[in-house]
Amino acid sequence: MDRGSARQETPPDTTDAAALAPRPTHICERMGIYQDRLLPWLIDRTMRSGMLAPYRRGVVGTTHGRILEIGIGSGHNFAFYGDAAAEVVGVDMSAALLGKAATRASKRRLPVRLVLADGSGLPFAEASFDAAVLTWTLCSIADPAAALAEIRRVLKPGGTLHYVEHGRAPEPGVQRLQDLLTPAWRRLSGGCHLNREMDALIEAAGFRHVGGEAGYAPGPRFVAYFYTGRVVATVRE
């Protein structure tokens, strides 16, 4: 779910005694440790749930050719790509998660390229992918409309976007709970929003549904309303 920006710590100059002296741990430093170290571990643990496997299989297993996966995380989708996948290019903003993905990729014959980048500004040429994949990612992107516009830009004509996302539930009571929890949830979960209407976001970006459904998965209802679908870009005017 979504992803914090990766930072690399600079070792202190060992000739500087002040740099080596004990320093108080401030709240910003504790949050940095949480975002850079603990959060990637929590995301990896959460996303390896076996309950998610059927959703991954349904989304990833139908892709083919050169595939762009936004928010690839630690690479839990690798096991579900079929022989029709010629190459998977995975993008994520977390260097820690990409490191885990590289380890998983090394154990499979699937051609994988991993890129540290923001989904809202993809470093790829226009019309360079046959398909794109989003699995529980759009909830955490700061500007989902920009990310979807970028996905549309890099897809070839007739290319498809395959996705499973969690988002806004249909019941008013659950919606109120999602709205109430989202501000704190977002800070603790790498930017994840509980209350985004995923189908509406995707259609507003110029995609047309050719298959999909929505419904509850097992788990707390405020986080378990899943949208799955396959869409193609509408003709640009």
Domain CATH number, residue 137: 3.40.50.150
Per DSSP bridges, beta strands 85-92 and 112-116 are parallel
pLDDT band at 81 (very low <50, low <70, confident <90, very high): very high
Residue range 21-49, pLDDT digits in tens: 344 445 445 556 666 677 777 888 888 88
Burial 124-134 (b: 16+ CB within 10 A, else e): eeeeebbbbbb
Residue 128 has pLDDT above 70, yes or no: yes
- What global pTM score does this model have? 0.83
Structural domain includes residue 221: yes
Domain count, the chain: 1
Structural domain includes residue 34: no
pLDDT computed for residue 45 by the predictor: 83
Residue range 88-105, pLDDT digits in tens: 999 999 999 999 999 999
Structural domain includes residue 6: no
Spatial separation of the C-alpha atoms in residues 227 and 8, rounded to whole Å: 35
**What average pLDDT does the structure give for the chain?**
87
Is the separation of the CB atoms in 54 and 108 below 8 Å?
Answer: no
Burial 48-86 (b: 16+ CB within 10 A, else e): eeeebeebbeebbeebeebbbbbbbbbbbbbebbeeebe
Structural domain includes residue 178: yes
pLDDT computed for residue 4 by the predictor: 39
Residue 9 has pLDDT above 80, yes or no: no
Residue range 177-212, pLDDT digits in tens: 999 999 999 988 889 999 999 999 999 999 999 999
Residue 62 sits in which domain range?
Answer: 45-233
- What are the two backbone dihedrals, phi and then psi, of residue 37, each rounded to the nearest 5 degrees? -120, -55
Is the separation of the CB atoms in 112 and 133 below 8 Å?
Answer: no
Structural domain includes residue 86: yes
Structural domain includes residue 155: yes
Structural domain includes residue 25: no
pLDDT computed for residue 236 by the predictor: 66
Structural domain includes residue 193: yes
Is the separation of the CB atoms in 105 and 114 below 8 Å?
Answer: yes
Burial class (CB in 10 A: 0-12, 13-18, 19+), 115: middle
